[in-house]
Amino acid sequence: MISFFQALKINPLLSTALWAAIAAAISSGVIGTYVVIKRIVFISGSIAHSVLGGMGFCLWLQRVWGVTWATPLLGALVAAILSAILIGWIHLYYRQREDAVIATLWSVGMAVGVIFIAQTPGFNVELTSFLLGNLLWASHADVTLLFCLDGFLLLAVIALRKQLLLLCFDEQQATLQGVPVRFLYLLLLTLIAISVVLLIQVVGIILALTILTLPSTIAGLYARRISTMIPLAIAIGLLFNIGGIALSYQLDWPPGATITLVAAFCYLCCLLAARKQVK
C-alpha cells in the first residue's frame, strides 16, 4: 500500500484517476441516494444502456459524413436525456406498462448503437472507453467536468430538498400540497441522465451503475434520513473508489472492475451483517 501512495506523487495518470474517482463518488452519492430511495435503479440502468445508440449515431456522423461537432459525448447526453424524458412520461401517464417499455428502451438503445457501430469504419476506441471505462484515461477536463457536476447537483438538491423528499416518499401528498410532481420527476430523471453520462465518460457503464447504486444502498441500511444518507453514501463511495484503485495498482487489475468487485463484496458483507442483527 505504501508503494501506491508513493506512486501517486510520481505518476500523473494515477493521481488524475484518483481525483476522478473522488469526483465520481460525490456525484454518485448525491444522485444515487434518490435513485435508491425512489427505487428507480432499473430506470437508471435503462438510461445508461440507451446512450449507446446516441454514441454510435454521432460517431457514424463523424466518420461517414464528416460532422465534426457530433461527438460521442454529445450523442450520449442527448440520448440519455431523451430516454429519461420518455421514461418519465410513460411513468406519469402509462404506469401499468412502465417496466416493459423500460426494458424495450434498454435493448433498443443498445441495438441501434450496435447497428451504427457496425456501419462505422475504423476502430471505435471511443466507444470502448465509454463501455468498459478506464479511470487511467481520465483527463483533467473530465475531472473538472465531474466536479462542476458535483456542485450543480449539490445546489439542486439543497434548493429542492423538501420537494424531492415528498416526491420520493409520497407523490400523492406532494400533489395535494401543490408540489409540481410531474416537473420534479422529469427533472430528477434528467439529473440522473446527466450524471450517468458524465460518469460513463470517466468510468464506463459497468462501474457507473455500480457506484451509482451500491454506496447509497449500503448507506440506506444504516441511515434513515436523506440528510444522513447522502454524506454516508459519498463516504462509502470514496472508500470503494480509493480502495479499489489502490488494490488494482497492487494486483495490476483494471481499476474499474476492481472497484466493482470491492463494492459488491462489501455490499454482501453488509447484507450478512444486517441479517445477523435481525436474528
In this structure, are residues 79 and 53 in contact, taking their beta carbons and an 8 Å threshold?
yes
Residue 268 sits in a domain whose CATH number is 1.10.3470.10
For the chain, the average pLDDT equals 85
Model confidence pLDDT, tens digit, residues 80-123: 999 999 888 887 777 656 677 788 888 888 899 889 888 888 76
Model confidence pLDDT, tens digit, residues 129-157: 677 677 777 788 878 888 888 888 889 88
Q: Which of the residue ranges 3-12, 53-62, 246-255 would you say has the lowest mean pLDDT?
A: 3-12
Residue 95 carries which DSSP code? G
In this structure, are residues 55 and 76 in contact, taking their beta carbons and an 8 Å threshold?
yes
3-state secondary structure of 67: coil
Query: Cβ neighbours of residue 8 under 8 Å, at least 6 residues apart?
Result: 14, 15, 18
**Number of domains observed in the structure of the chain:** 1
Domain residues for 78? 2-278
| Calpha distance 203→192 (Å, rounded) | 16
Q: Is the dihedral of CA 232, 237, 242, 246 positive or negative?
A: positive
- pLDDT confidence of residue 207: 75
